[in-house]
Amino acid sequence: MNFRPLNETVHICSESYEDRRQFMQDKPQSDYGQLPVIYFVTPTYPRREQIPELTRLAHTLLHVPRLHWLVADDQEKCNDFMDTLLYRFGMPFTHMVSPMPSKFRNEKPAPRGVANRRAALQWIRQHNFTNGILYFGDDDNTYDLRLFSEIRKTQRVSMFPVGLIADYGVSGPVVRKGKVVAFLDSWVAGRRWPVDMAGFAVNLEYMAQYPYVNMPYKPGYEEDLFLRSIGLQMNLIEPRGNNCTEILVWHTQTKSKKLGMVRLESKYLDDRSNLGALLHNLKLMGVTSTTESEGRNALISKNGREKPHSKILS
Angle, helix 114-127 to helix 222-229, in steps of 10 degrees: 20
Q: How far apart are CA 109 and CA 105, in angstroms?
A: 9
Sheet with 249-250, side-by-side order of all strands = 142-143, 249-250, 162-163, 170-176, 179-184
Cβ burial of 219 (10 Å; 0-12, 13-18, 19+) is middle
Q: Is 26 known to sit in a ligand binding site?
A: no
On the question of a cis peptide bond just before residue 109, with omega within 30 degrees of 0, the verdict is yes
In the three-class reduction of DSSP (H, G, I as helix; E, B as strand; rest coil), residue 95 is classed as: strand
Under a CB-based contact definition with an 8 Å cutoff, are residues 130 and 204 in contact? Answer: yes
Name the catalytic one among 223, 238, 294, 306: 223
Q: How far apart are CA 310 and CA 134, in angstroms?
A: 54
Q: Are strands 249-250 and 142-143 parallel, antiparallel or unpaired?
A: antiparallel
What does each C-alpha distance from 270 to 276, 279, 314 come to in angstroms? 5, 11, 11
Under a CB-based contact definition with an 8 Å cutoff, are residues 119 and 8 in contact? Answer: yes
Sheet with 38-44, side-by-side order of all strands = 11-16, 93-97, 67-73, 38-44, 133-136, 200-203, 157-159, 237-239
Q: 223 catalytic, yes or no?
A: yes
Q: How far apart are CA 146 and CA 55, in angstroms?
A: 20
Q: Are strands 162-163 and 170-176 parallel, antiparallel or unpaired?
A: antiparallel
Under a CB-based contact definition with an 8 Å cutoff, are residues 297 and 309 in contact? Answer: yes
Q: Which residues are annotated as a binding site for Mn(2+)?
A: 140
Residues making up the annotated binding site are 140
Give catalytic residue positions.
Answer: 223
